[in-house]
A and B are shown apart, each in its own frame.
Chain A
Amino acid sequence: MEKIKDIKQLKKKAIDIRRDILTMLEKAGSGHTGGSLSIVEILISLYYQKMNLDCKTFVCRERDKFILSKGHACPALYAVLADLGFFKKEELWTLRKLGTRLQGHPQFGLPGLEVSSGSLGQGLSIAAGFALADRMDGHKTRVYCLMGDGETNEGQVWEAASTCAHYKLDSVCGIIDFNKLQIDGFCCEVKDQGEYRKKWDNFGWFTQEVDGHDLSQLSNAFDEAEKVKGKPQMIIAHTVKGKGVSFVENKVEWHGISPKKDELALALQELDLAEKAL
C-alpha cells in the first residue's frame, strides 16, 4: 500500500475519518463517541504511514499487526479499515444493527481485525502472544496495541507488561490513548494511577510522551520506538476525548453516547470549517 507522506493530506484524512465516525454513530443510535474521536490521529499515523499491512496481504502473518484493546472505540478503526478497502464503505452504516459484521465491540472475522476485543485489558497479552509466535517463526514484524488510560486499571495489563519486558519483546509497541477521562469521570478521581510514565519505566519499558493529535510527533515516536532493542516500547499519547467537535471535547458524558441528528449536523459543520482552515 502507498503510504501518505504529506501532512496536510493526513490531516484531511483525519477529518474524513471523524466525519465517518460521527455519521456511523448517529445512524447506529448508540456507541462510544469520545474515545473514538480521541484515537483518530494514532490510527492515521499507524495505518497510513507506519505499518507494513494492507488488505491484499492481510492473510499473510508476516506483516505488522494492530490490536484495538480499547474495543469500544471500534467506530474509528472500522472507518479506517473501510477507507483502506478491507470492506465497502457502505457497510459502515450497518454499525450495531442486527446481522452486521460491525458489532458494537469488535468481533474477529471482520476483514482487518486481528482479534475480538471489548472486555478491557486483554489486548496487550494477545500482542505478547503475536510477538512470541513471530519471534519463533523468525518474522521481523511489529505489533501495536492501543489501550485506553482507564483501561489500565485492569490488572491483566500489568501482567502483560511484565511478560513483554521479561521476554524482551522489542517488537511490541503499546500506545495509551491518554485522554484523562473514563466513564465515571476524571481518571485521577476514579482511581488515581499515580506517576503514570514512571510505572511503565519501572516495568522495563522504553517510554515516550507525545501529543496524540500531532501527526509529526506520533510519526517520530513510532520511528524512535522501532529503533529500540531488547525492550518493549510505550507511547503515552496525550489526547483530548471527543477531539474535533467542540461540544464533545473533554465532556465525560460523551463517553458512551452517540450524536443525535442536529448534533451530527453541527459537528459536520465544525469539521467542514476545520477542513477549510487546513
Chain B
Amino acid sequence: MIIKEPKKKVATRDGFGRALVELGKENKNVVVLCADLTESVRANWFKEEFPDRFVSLGVAEQDMIGVAAGMALSGKIPYACTFGAFASGRAWDQVRVSVAYTNINVIIVGTHGGISVGGDGATHQSLEEITLMRVLPHMTVVVPADAEEAFLATKQAAGLPGPVYLRLGRAAATIIEDKPEFIIGKASVLTPGDDITIIACGHMVEKSLEAAKYLREKKIKARIINLHTPKPIDKPAIIKAARETGAVLTVEEHSIAGGMGSAVAEVLAENCPVPMKFMGLDDRFGVSGTPEELYEYFGLTEKYIVKEAEELFKKKRT
C-alpha cells in the first residue's frame, strides 16, 4: 500500500485491515479470528471477502487465543484480533502457554493501543502491551508508526516462525515520508543527527519528527529512530546511536515501566550507558478526552519532547 498524498492521515488499524485482504488472496491458509470487535479492528474487509476463513468467537478473548493456537498447529496462519487491553491482558496466560510456550505463528493483533483511543477512557486505553508481551520468550512485538508500516508488518508477521504481537492505534496517524525499508526487527533511522537520539514508536514517531524540526531551530540536531520492533530489539542501531550522540530520549504512548524505553535502557545499561530520559505514562491510568487533549494532558506532544530533549542535551554536556 503506497499512499502518495503528502501528510495523509490513516489509522494503523486501516493499514492492517487492507493487508489482511491481500494476504487472504495470496495464501489460503490465512484465517482471521475476532472477539466481537470485527469492524473496530478492521477485520470486516477480510470477513466480507473470505467468510469461510473468518471465525467469530464472541466476547471470549481467552477462547479466541486457544482456537488460534489450535488452527496454527494445524497449518493455518491465524490473526487473532481484538483491542490491545484484552488481547494482551485478558488473555495473557493463554498467550503465554498455548501460544508462546508452544512457539507457533499466531499473530495477535491488539488495536486501540494507548491514550489516543480517546473517550472510552482507561479500561480501553491499553498502556501495558509492550511490557506484557516482550517478557514472553519467542514473542515478537511490533508497533508500526503509520498505516504503511502496519500494512507491511501484517504481511511480514505471516512468515515468522513464532508468535507476533502487533500493536495498532485507533486514531488516524500521518503517513511518514521517506522512510527506510520496513523490516521487522530492524530499527529505522528517520532523521540524522549527532547531538541527541530520540527513540520513538507508534504515534510518537510522528510527534518526535515534528520535535526534531523545532530542535534544529535551536541548533540541536536530534537523531530520530523509529523503533517499530521493541522485540527482538535492534541492539546495534541503539548502541551506535548512543555512542554517536551521547544521550537517549525515549517516547512512547505506553507505560514507562517495562515498555519500549525500558527495553532500550536494558541494552544501553550493559553496552553503552548514556544519560537517558523516558517519556510515556508514569504509573498512571488513562482518562477520557479527545486524543489531542490527552496528548497534552499526559505531556506527549512535540512541545514536551522538545523540552525534555533540551534538558537532556544540557545534562549530557555538564
Instruction: List residues of chain A with CB under 8 Å of any chain B CB.
Output: 61, 107-108, 114-119, 121-134, 136-137, 155-156, 159-160, 162-163, 166-167
Query: B residues 44-67 with Cβ under 8 Å of A?
Result: 52-53, 55, 57-58, 60, 62-67
Instruction: List residues of chain B with CB under 8 Å of any chain A CB.
Output: 31, 52-53, 55, 57-58, 60, 62-76, 78, 93-94, 96-98, 101-103
Shortest beta-carbon distance from B32 to chain A in Å: 12
Q: What DSSP secondary structure best describes chain B's contact surface? A: helix
Q: 6 tightest CB-CB pairs across the interface, nearest first?
A: A129-B70, A125-B66, A133-B74, A159-B63, A159-B60, A126-B70
Q: Which residue of A lies closest to B65 (CB)?
A: A125
Asked if A128 and B102 sit within 8 Å, CB to CB, the answer is no
B78 proximity list for chain A (CB < 8 A): 129
A19 to B262, CA, bound (A): 51
Q: Which residue of B lies closest to A128 (CB)?
A: B67
Other than A122-B93, A134-B74, A162-B63, give 20 A-B pairs with Cβ distance below 8 A.
A61-B75, A108-B101, A115-B102, A119-B96, A121-B62, A122-B97, A125-B64, A125-B69, A126-B66, A126-B69, A126-B73, A128-B63, A129-B71, A131-B70, A132-B55, A133-B71, A133-B76, A159-B62, A160-B63, A163-B58
A117 to B55, CA, bound (A): 23
B68 proximity list for chain A (CB < 8 A): 129
Partner of A129, one of B52, B69, B96, B103: B69
Asked if B98 and A122 sit within 8 Å, CB to CB, the answer is yes
Asked if B98 and A115 sit within 8 Å, CB to CB, the answer is yes
B64 proximity list for chain A (CB < 8 A): 125
A123 to B76, CA, bound (A): 18
Q: What DSSP secondary structure best describes chain A's contact surface? A: helix
Asked if B74 and A129 sit within 8 Å, CB to CB, the answer is yes
A119 proximity list for chain B (CB < 8 A): 93, 96-97
Q: Which residue of B lies closest to A113 (CB)?
A: B102
A127 to B78, CA, bound (A): 15
Shortest beta-carbon distance from A253 to chain B in Å: 27
Shortest beta-carbon distance from A180 to chain B in Å: 26
Given known contacts A61-B75, A118-B97, A133-B74, A163 and B103 CB-to-CB distance under 8 angstroms? no
Asked if B75 and A133 sit within 8 Å, CB to CB, the answer is yes
Given known contacts A133-B76, A160-B63, A122 and B70 CB-to-CB distance under 8 angstroms? no
A137 proximity list for chain B (CB < 8 A): 74-75
